[in-house]
A and B are shown apart, each in its own frame.
Chain A
Amino acid sequence: MADIQYLEGKQPHAKEHRLIFRNVDRVGWNPSIDKYLEEGGYNQLIKAVKMERAAITNEVKASGLRGRGGAGFPTGVKWTFIPPTNTKPVYLICNADESEPGTFKDRYILHQDPHQLIEGMAISSYAVGAKLAYIYVREEFPEAAKILERAIDEAHEKGFLGQGICGTDFELEIYVHRGAGAYICGEETGLIESLEGKRPYPRIKPPYFPAALGLWMSPTIVNNVESLCHVKHIMEMGGEAYAKLGTPRNTGTRILCVSGDVQKPGYFEVQVGKVTLGELINDMCGGLKPGRKLKAVIPGGSSAKVLRADETFKVKQGDEMVELKIEDIPMDFDTLAACGSMAGSGGVIIMDDSRSMAWVLNNINSFYAHESCGQCTPCREGSLWMKKITDRIVRGEGTPDDVDTLESVAYNIDGRTICAFGEACAWPTESFIAKFREELVGTTKAENRGKLANPESKLAAAGLD
């Protein structure tokens, strides 16, 4: 790939391994189909439609690909949950709602390489037997929606969509469907309700996967943008070769998005588990700001439990139990889970010692209070209570009991709701209290009453009502 040039200042880091982001920030690249075809675009679709459908699913299974949208569920396995006796139409939905705070990767695929996604979707649709597919794209990506629509038209003209694709009897239509600014539309059953034209109230489980019952009560495969793009590369490399990238059970590449208190925030496509959190922060992001020390990291989108900089984590490596410092954590699904958090959506938020944890938690709580869909009482009321309590702590009006109350509210949401938003909104509070209890309690002590938790928080406090 020596011939690929990237824009000044946007060159990939030496530790990156670019598959999905190969064309992102590339000199001379554009989202047209002509560009895409110049380098073998749609060849994998041409190959796929001549294969047995099950053979493609088997390649995806062999690749070990795990969903990049948040839960990390094996993609090939999910596809097999379509009931074998099914006679209803099957649908495929691309989840392009990208709204987990800290996550900014799908944006670049949609804007800069839409045909990669369309090819991945076409291959996946063929594999699962879908003739109708949707890209549910968040409303705040108006430009991406236009780019995708243009790309779909182009693919139609060239015979990669529509009837008789690549000279076979495979047919497929893909439509872009725009959301309307609600985070809960990223939850797959909320998304389906929204696509059906309703309020995006997540559905009661079981069934656990829309692959059993989804859009219009038909089997529906929902996958993240990045996951569907990987399918194209799995076709190209073969499942087994793809599985050699990354680490066992944590295969392939994934895009990590780093934001917050580092010198150079950004996106980095790495082999899963081949880069540690320390390398990510210190080498790839240029380290912390001058004179600052690391305080905390949220490793997988704002719903992931926070890690404290001075913690040690006991994890199993091979057959051995080892103790890891925060900077030694390899960024893969299993290790981050063993450290008590999750790889989630790949959004890594870094906080240095200038940050008040009360202020950070309050910002996160405000997000969830705003975004709860309101169906379940623990989530609807609890998310708002957590926000109100941290509001007053940040205002300097907290009482010493507040931290305990906050904790009890959080533990009464977790596990008692229809959808995983319940955990998503409780985990930040649970983990911030577990890791930073003293600091939080300190901000509520009488001698600190009336003083802001952090001078920089003044505006934040004023804006949250």
Chain B
Amino acid sequence: MTISPELDKKADEAISHSPAEHKRAASLPLLHLLQHEFGYVSEDSVKWVADKLGLEPINILELVTFYPGFRQSAPGKFHIRVCRTLSCAMAGSYELMESLCKATNIDRSNTTHHNPIAVSPDGKFSIEFAECLASCGTGPVCMVNDDFHESIKPAEAAKLVEDYRANA
């Protein structure tokens, strides 16, 4: 794993957001930076963050395993998060999940609480359920990487996937 000077600079900037004696506050920001760069948080990334902040690796690993926003293996090029919670479920988010899986050829049957992400055979897409994304009035909603999509009818799922595939 190589950390570019730019990334290192961004890490220092994040560390400067809290008083020097409270560097640990930069744990989440640094994990976000590394996950954004490499797609997931590797063992090396955990060690790097710990070193950078003068912590033990376990102090960082326990964050990666707790927070659903961090992942320990590579997702697809496009990572999809479908809202599972009540208002979206009433608006058809489970059906949306099914249509998206079909369109991306993803099999979710082996996912578990600790391993919620399923990846497509071609590695282009991955998918998981997320809890309420705070847009309950326009359900069902989903995110593809950082893009937000609302009021998607299950029938529109295939088109959404194709639009991303075309830009791959």
B74-89 interface (Cβ within 8 A of A): 81, 84-87, 89
Query: Measured between alpha carbons, how far is A460 from B148 in the docked complex, in Å?
Result: 23
Main secondary structure of the interface of A (DSSP, over half): mixed
A349–B87 CB distance below 8 A: yes
How far is the CB of A186 from the nearest CB of chain B, in Å?
A: 11
B66–A101 CB distance below 8 A: no
Number of interface residues of B (CB under 8 A): 47
Query: Measured between alpha carbons, how far is A258 from B53 in the docked complex, in Å?
Result: 44
Q: Does chain B have a CB within 8 A of A103?
A: yes
A196–B25 CB distance below 8 A: yes
Query: Measured between alpha carbons, how far is A330 from B97 in the docked complex, in Å?
Result: 37
Question: Once A and B bind, how many residue pairs between them come within 8 Å at the CB atom?
Answer: 144
B86–A360 CB distance below 8 A: yes
A101–B17 CB distance below 8 A: no
A99–B131 CB distance below 8 A: yes
Q: Does chain A have a CB within 8 A of B112?
A: yes
Known: A260-B87, A267-B137. Is A99-B132 also a contact (CB below 8 A)? Answer: yes
A366–B84 CB distance below 8 A: yes
Q: Does chain B have a CB within 8 A of A73?
A: no
In the complex formed, the residue of A with least CB distance to B17 is: A175
B95–A177 CB distance below 8 A: no
Contact bitstring B81-108, A, C-beta under 8 A = 1, else 0: 1001111011000110110000000000
Q: Which B residues touch A265, using CB under 8 A?
A: 87, 136-138
A197–B67 CB distance below 8 A: no
Number of interface residues of A (CB under 8 A): 57
Known: A177-B28, A177-B29, A180-B32. Is A140-B86 also a contact (CB below 8 A)? Answer: no
In the complex formed, the residue of B with least CB distance to A428 is: B86
Q: Does chain B have a CB within 8 A of A79?
A: no
Known: A180-B28, A181-B68, A199-B62. Is A101-B132 also a contact (CB below 8 A)? Answer: yes
Contact bitstring B126-148, A, C-beta under 8 A = 1, else 0: 00011111111111000100101
A465–B112 CB distance below 8 A: yes
B: residues with CB less than 8 A from A are 17, 19, 22, 24-29, 31-32, 53, 59, 62-63, 66-70, 81, 84-87, 89-90, 94-95, 97-98, 112-113, 129-139, 143, 146, 148
Given A103-B136, A107-B135, A367-B84, 6 further pairs, Cβ under 8 A: A196-B25, A199-B66, A302-B86, A349-B87, A363-B89, A367-B85
Question: What are 5 contact pairs spanning A and B, CB under 8 A?
Answer: A101-B87, A140-B134, A302-B85, A355-B90, A460-B94
